[in-house]
Amino acid sequence: MHICLNEFIVFISHGLSVTTIRTTCSVISLDRLAVYEGMISFEKTSVRRFSDKQQPHIMTKTKFLLTLTACCSIIGNNYAQVKSKDGAIIAARPPMGWMTWNYFADKISEKDIKEMADAMVSSGMRSAGYEYVFIDDGWQGGRDNRNNMIPDPQKFPSGIKALADYVHNKGLKLGIYSDAAPLTCAGYTASLGFEDQDAKIFASWGIDYLKYDYCGAPNDVETAKERYKKMADALHNSGRDIALGVCEWGERKPWQWAANAGGQLWRTTGDVRDKWKRRVTEKYGEGIMDIIDANKHLASYAGPGKWNDMDMLVVGLYGKKGPSGDLGGTGCTNVEYQSQMSLWCMMASPLAATNDLRNMNAETKRILLNKEVIDISQDELGQQAIVKIDNELTTIWLRTLKNGDHALAILNRSDTSQNIQCIFETLGLTGNFSIKDLWAHKLIGKGRRWKGNVKTHETKVFRLKAI
C-alpha cells in the first residue's frame, strides 16, 4: 500500500518486501512494518537517515519513533474514520446489498422493494452477506407544509418508515437517496438547504444509508467538500448511525477528501453500464474495464470505514433496457460478469447487485453467491488489492488478508485466451503456498508459482496459504 500525503510517502508491504518511509530529506528502511488501526510494529534491521548530500548516519531510536508518530498523525488527519454512537467504525467493511436503479430506474414502488427484500432472504443473498436494500432516485414526493421531505404517496402509500420496518424485520437495512442540489439527477426534490431537517427525517424513518448524488451542483471541489461535509454533519447529529455514500463520480478526486468530509465511501468513476469496456466510438458510458483501470491504483485511500466505490454490479442484467443499457450497455458474458464480481471483491468496493433477484438464473446465483470470493471482499483487514503486474495482456493483483493468507487475482485483458504463468516471488512472496481456486472451490496445488490457461476477459482468483 502506498499513501501520498504532503511531504510523506509511506510504502507498506506487510512483510513481503523492504518497507520505506520517505520524507523530504530522509529515508528509513525496514524489513517489516505493519499498520493496523493506528498501531505500528516493526522489526528493525537497519535505520538510516540520508541528508540532501546523501551522507548516511544511523538514526536514534527516538528520532525513528518520532518520524513514525508524525507519519501516523498525517495519515489520521487525512483519513478520518466516522465512529458510530457506540464507538465502532461505520461501514467497517464494504457495504453489500441490492440497489433499485439499474433495474427499475425511477419507476419504483414499495411493492417492488418488499418483493426484492423477500428475495434477498429466499435466494440466499442475505446469508451470503448482502444486507442493504438501497432505494435510489425517484422515491420523493416533494415537501409538506413544514418542509419535511415526503415520499411519493402513489409509489409508497404506506410511507418509508413502514417500509424500513418491513426491511429491518427481514434482518436487512434500508438505504435512501438524495442530492446536494435543489433537484436530483432525475428531477426530484433534493436536500440542498435542508440537510439537517432531511437527516432527522431519514433517521426518524429508520434509514441506515444515504447515497448523496451531485447533479445540479457546481463543478469546483471546494463547494463539493462543503456540501458533503454539511450532510455528513447532519447525519452525525441525527441521532442515528447512517452511512454516507459520496456520489460525485470521481470528477473531483473524492478519494483525497471525502473521508475527511465524513463519507464512508465515494464513487471513483461515472455510472457503470452493462458492457465490458467503452468502445472506441463511444465518448461516454463506463464499462467494467474502464472502472477497473480508473480504480486500480487507489488502494492507498481504502480501508475500514473508507472505501473506493466502483459503482453497481451489472451481473445478471444481460443487456436489459434501462439506465445500465444506455450508452452502449448491450450486456456482458457470464465470464465478464464473473470478472466484475472478482475484481470488485479484490479491490474492496461496495457490492450493490442490481439484477432482478426474484428471477435469477443459475449462473447469476453462482457469481453473486460465491462465499469464498465474498470473504475476500469482507476481510477484516480491509486492504484493497494492490496491482503487481500490469500490461496489455494481463493485470495481476495481490491482497493481504487478516489471517496472513493472500488473495491473488489474474485478469486476462485480451480478446483471446492466454497461457499465463505467475511466479509468486515476483509479487514479493517467498516460500511455498497451497493454492485454492475460489471459483472452482478446490485446492489445485502447492508451490511457488501458478501456470494455466485464462479465458478471454476471465479473472482467476486464488487464495494462497503459506506452508
Render the burial of 417-443: b for 16+ CB within 10 Å, e for the rest: ebebebebeebbbeeebbbbbbbeeee
Q: Which of 106, 208, 271, 311 is catalytic?
A: 271
Task: Provide the Cα torsion 61, 65, 68, 70; round to 10°.
Answer: -130
Contact 412, 457 (CB under 8 A): yes
Query: How far is the C-alpha of 21 from the C-alpha of 353, rounded, in Å?
Result: 39
Give the contacts of 245 (CB within 8 A, at least 6 positions apart): 95, 175, 209, 210, 211, 212, 263, 264, 265, 266, 267, 309, 350
Query: How far is the C-alpha of 421 from the C-alpha of 271, rounded, in Å?
Result: 34
Query: How far is the C-alpha of 55 from the C-alpha of 301, rounded, in Å?
Result: 33
Q: Which of 213, 241, 274, 379 is catalytic?
A: 213
Catalytic (active site) residue 118: no
Angle at 377 between CA 376 and CA 379, to 5 degrees: 65
Nearest Cα neighbor of 275 from 327, 348, 342 is: 327
Catalytic (active site) residue 271: yes
Render the burial of 386-409: b for 16+ CB within 10 Å, e for the rest: bebbeeeebbbbbbbbeeebbbbb
Q: Which residues are catalytic?
A: 213, 271
